[in-house]
Amino acid sequence: MGYVGNHLATLVTGVFAAVLTGLWAFWDLSPILDFVFLMAVPITWFMAFTCWISQKSTDYMHNHAPSHVEKKSLSNTQTIETTTTGSQVSLSEIKQIQNELSLELNNVKETVKLKDSEIERLNQEISNLETLVQIESLKTELANLKMLASERKTKSK
């Protein structure tokens, strides 16, 4: 982390902004340099502020993130202590929970397989119904054509 607490970019940018401010405030400059400093000083102070805010945000996110799990070995039983809550969970409890979750996962997988087979069956029924609808429309069209043909025969006689 260092002496400045990861604020090196903020420190460098702040020192640069302070030097520019000092040069601008205490030296009599030409109008063109005065305009350059008029633009550069607020920009560098804004950069220093942005660096400071971003580092504060990063520090906040890393200090409040869930911490890692530390493993501790005791005499005959192994336990795991979480640093966020300070509670201890034995290895046998973890194994029991893991087994329960595995059973639940297997049940969910079986349910998904059943649902997949049901979806496949329904898709097959839909395609069969579409085929039946096409057959019926062809029968209707054929009947209409037969009726038109018989009407033509009667008109031609």
In single-letter form, the type of residue at position 47 comes to: M
Q: Is the pLDDT of residue 110 over 50?
A: yes
Return the minimum-mean-pLDDT range out of 22-26, 65-69, 127-131, 142-146: 65-69
pLDDT value at position 143?
92
The pLDDT of residue 49:
96
- Burial class from Cβ neighbours inside 10 Å (0-12, 13-18, 19+) for residue 55 reads middle
What span, in angstroms and rounded, lies between the C-alpha atoms of 74 and 72? Answer: 6
The pLDDT, as a whole number, for residue 69 is 45
Measuring CA to CA, how many Å separate 100 from each of 37, 44, 94, 103, 105? 68, 58, 10, 5, 9
Cite the DSSP H helix spans in the chain: 8-26, 31-63, 91-156
- Check: pTM over 0.75? Answer yes or no: no
Overall average pLDDT of the 95-114 stretch: 90
Render pLDDT for 9-40 as a digit per residue (tens, 0 to 9). Answer: 999 999 999 999 999 888 887 888 889 999 99
**Comparing 121 with 79, which gets the higher pLDDT?**
121
Quote the pLDDT of residue 89: 76
Mean pLDDT, range 91-118, rounded to an integer: 89
Sign of the Cα torsion 143, 144, 146, 147 reads positive
- Given the structure tokens 């019926």, which residue do they identify? 136
Decide: 56 and 63 in contact? Cβ < 8 Å. Answer: no
Per-domain boundaries in the chain: 7-63, 91-156
**Degrees to nearest 5, angle at CA 88 with 83 and 89:** 120
Would you state the pLDDT for residue 44?
A: 96
Distance CA 71, CA 117 (A): 44
